[in-house]
């Protein structure tokens, strides 16, 4: 497991012209523009509710995130349909849009999650988006419905040449029983599943290497893992799909940069930073962004 993983090129991915044209813009025309991806998501208002904004009240106005995405500059901003309709028009063309197609609140039980479609690939085409986002709950007792729902999205995306970013999340009661959503086992399976189903880009969380939790995972995973190995492993399982890693909750800038470097070194194509950026003041958000952007420059291709 010590081989070097190379991130896939656009050629490696055997994309249709439409997907290739759009991904090319995300990789080379916006944000770092050097073949890496830096994405700003603002779907937390739906996924977590406004609680994420109570201590960062500027963030409650979605225009705040759009301004950061433009100024960053970020490769794209990822939002649900409601915000896209109201806030994207004045940024159209200046910052790419990733239309998040499904989403849910965190209120009901998470035992058997599924994220319903709130928008379609056609909405994304109409709005000039360069990609769509889809949250897949790998391992949920309702994954059969999720796969079926995803299939229709994939078919539409094929029809319109629209790249798909899969937020691939291990979830549900069975995942909890096998060590939880953050083990290398869980993230690894999620990475492969998204690749098997046809994701172009896969958004993953950095696995946690707590051996106690891993003890409940299948035997093959019962070995010592460093975070580096774990990250390389999940990127390997994504095959020729690009991987971007989440920044997760707000942490220190140094930790954030360190984790970002680790991921990029391991073969990630990019990063997706939300709360870690916009739960700060506008100027602090841009400072963090600049540090990350500087880091990304080392990974141009």
Question: By CB under 8 A, what part of segment 81-100 binds its own copies?
Answer: 81-83, 85-87, 89
Stretch that binds its own copies, among 70-78, 146-154, 256-264, 286-294 (CB under 8 A): 146-154
How far is Cα 290 from Cα 256, in angstroms, rounded to an integer?
13
Q: Check binding of 4 to its own copies (CB under 8 A).
A: no
How far is Cα 89 from Cα 82, in angstroms, rounded to an integer?
12
Minimum distance from residue 29 beta carbon to its own copies (Å): 24
| DSSP character at residue 48 | T
- Count other C-beta atoms under 10 Å from residue 4's C-beta: 8
In this structure, are strands 131-138 and 270-272 parallel, antiparallel, or unpaired?
Answer: unpaired
Residues 17-76 that bind its own copies (CB under 8 A): 43, 45-46, 49-55, 57, 60-62
Binding-site string for its own copies from residue 165 to residue 204, where x marks contact by CB under 8 A and - marks none: -----x-x-xx--x------x--xx-xxxxxxxxx-----
The angle that helices 282-297 and 253-265 make with each other, rounded to 10 degrees, is 30
Residues 215-244 that bind its own copies (CB under 8 A): 218-221, 223, 233, 236-237, 239-241
Binding-site string for its own copies from residue 264 to residue 293, where x marks contact by CB under 8 A and - marks none: ------------------------------
Minimum distance from residue 77 beta carbon to its own copies (Å): 14
Helices (H), 88-183: 121-126, 143-160, 173-177
Indicate the Cα dihedral angle 266, 272, 275, 279, nearest 10°: 110
User: Which sequence positions are flagged as catalytic?
Assistant: 169, 203
- Please pick, from the candidates 6, 9, 94, 116, the single residue that binds its own copies as defined by CB under 8 A: 116
How far is Cα 6 from Cα 225, in angstroms, rounded to an integer?
20
Minimum distance from residue 185 beta carbon to its own copies (Å): 7
3-state secondary structure of 132: strand
- Please pick, from the candidates 118, 216, 265, 287, the single residue that binds its own copies as defined by CB under 8 A: 118
- Please pick, from the candidates 134, 150, 169, 299, the single residue that binds its own copies as defined by CB under 8 A: 150
- Count other C-beta atoms under 10 Å from residue 15's C-beta: 18
Query: By CB under 8 A, how many residues form the interface with its own copies?
Result: 82
101, 153 in Cβ contact below 8 A?
yes
- The smaller minimum CB distance to its own copies, of residues 208 and 293, is found at 208
How far is Cα 191 from Cα 208, in angstroms, rounded to an integer?
15
Q: Check binding of 105 to its own copies (CB under 8 A).
A: yes
- Please pick, from the candidates 41, 73, 103, 274, the single residue that binds its own copies as defined by CB under 8 A: 103
Q: Check binding of 11 to its own copies (CB under 8 A).
A: no
How far is Cα 255 from Cα 237, in angstroms, rounded to an integer?
25
């Amino acid at each position: 497991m010590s081989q070097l993983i190379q991130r896939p090129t656009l050629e490696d991915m055997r994309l249709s012209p439409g997907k290739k044209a759009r991904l090319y813009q995300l990789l080379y025309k916006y944000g770092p523009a050097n073949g890496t991806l830096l994405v700003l998501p603002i779907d937390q208002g739906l996924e977590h509710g406004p609680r994420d904004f109570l201590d960062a009240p500027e963030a409650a106005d979605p225009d705040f995130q759009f301004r950061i995405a433009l100024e960053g500059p970020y490769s794209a901003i990822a939002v649900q349909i409601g915000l896209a309709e109201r806030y994207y028009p004045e940024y159209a063309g200046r910052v790419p849009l990733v239309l998040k197609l499904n989403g849910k609140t965190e209120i009901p039980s998470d035992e058997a999650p599924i994220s319903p479609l709130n928008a379609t690939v056609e909405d994304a085409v109409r709005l000039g988006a360069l990609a769509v986002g889809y949250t897949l709950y790998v391992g949920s007792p309702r994954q059969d419905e999720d796969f079926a729902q995803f299939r229709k999205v994939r078919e539409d995306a094929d029809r319109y040449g629209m790249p798909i970013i899969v937020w691939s999340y291990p979830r549900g009661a069975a995942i909890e029983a096998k060590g939880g959503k953050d083990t290398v086992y869980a993230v690894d399976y999620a990475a492969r599943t998204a690749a098997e189903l046809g994701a172009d880009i896969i958004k993953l969380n950095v696995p946690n290497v707590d051996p106690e939790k891993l003890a409940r995972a299948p035997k093959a995973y019962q070995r010592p893992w460093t975070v580096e190995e774990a990250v390389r492993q999940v990127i390997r399982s994504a095959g020729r799909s690009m991987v971007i890693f989440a920044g997760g909750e707000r942490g220190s800038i140094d930790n954030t940069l360190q984790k970002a470097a680790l991921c990029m070194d391991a073969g990630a194509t990019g990063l997706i930073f939300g709360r870690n950026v916009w739960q700060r003041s506008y100027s602090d958000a841009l400072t963090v962004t600049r540090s990350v952007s500087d880091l990304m420059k080392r990974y141009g291709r």
